[in-house]
Amino acid sequence: MDLDVVLVAPEIPQNTGTIGRLCVCLDVRLHLIEPLGFELTEQRIRRAGLDYWQHLSWKVHPSWEAFLADVEPARLMFSSTKTTRSYFDWEFKPGDTVVFGNEGSGLPESFYEAYENQLYAIPMPGAHARSHNLANAVSIVMYEAYRQFSVAGIA
């Protein structure tokens, strides 16, 4: 699929490995924004990504600004718990970039104002959870993109 996934300052290597594997399964590009909470050579990433990591299209960017300058994304969608707008309301298009914050603190605080109209949440009717696991959240959102692309005949 012609989509990009961005992880801003991911902290848990197993999540990043799992997300890398997902990106290979969906043929989606992965971008990691530094600082990373781990070294990319860690065995845990390789274990979570298994033998898929060699097939992953990915790049590490030293900052959000460097990512924007390098990739020049057409449209940005941010997954966040700090909005009432559902990701079901986003119409995915080829070239979209979906951005996820890190496991501990989510997106950088400045993003909530700068990208206020591009924040979308995964509905969570349960009363006792703050958020989904990052790898699960990426899976949920990216498979909705895949569903939309399939229905439109572009997957």
Distance of CA 112 to the CA centre of its chain: 16
CB count, 10 Å around CB of 104?
11
Is this structure's pTM higher than 0.75?
A: yes
Q: How confident is the model at residue 131 (pLDDT cuts 50, 70, 90)?
A: confident
Question: pLDDT band at residue 136, thresholds of 50, 70 and 90?
Answer: very high
Cα gap 28→143, rounded to integer Å = 11
Q: 46 or 81, which is more confident? A: 81
Residue 62 or residue 129, greater confidence: 62
- What is the model's pLDDT at position 129? 77
pLDDT at 44 over 80: no
pLDDT at 43 over 80: no
Asked whether residue 49 carries a pLDDT value surpassing 80, the answer given is no
Q: Per-residue pLDDT for 46 more than 80?
A: no
pLDDT digits (tens, 9 = 90+) for 53-106: 889 999 999 999 999 999 999 999 999 999 999 999 999 999 999 999 999 999
- Average pLDDT in the 31-45 region? 83
Superfamily of domain 4-152: SPOUT methyltransferase, trefoil knot domain (3.40.1280.10)
Asked whether the predicted pLDDT for residue 141 surpasses 80, the reply is: yes
Q: Domain map of the chain by residue range?
A: 4-152
Q: What is the largest CA-CA distance in the chain?
A: 40
Q: Is 14 left (phi over 0), alpha (psi -120 to 50) or beta?
A: alpha
CA atoms within 13 A on the CB side of 75: 13
∠ Cα 94 97 99 (to 5°):
155
Does residue 48 surpass a pLDDT of 70?
A: no
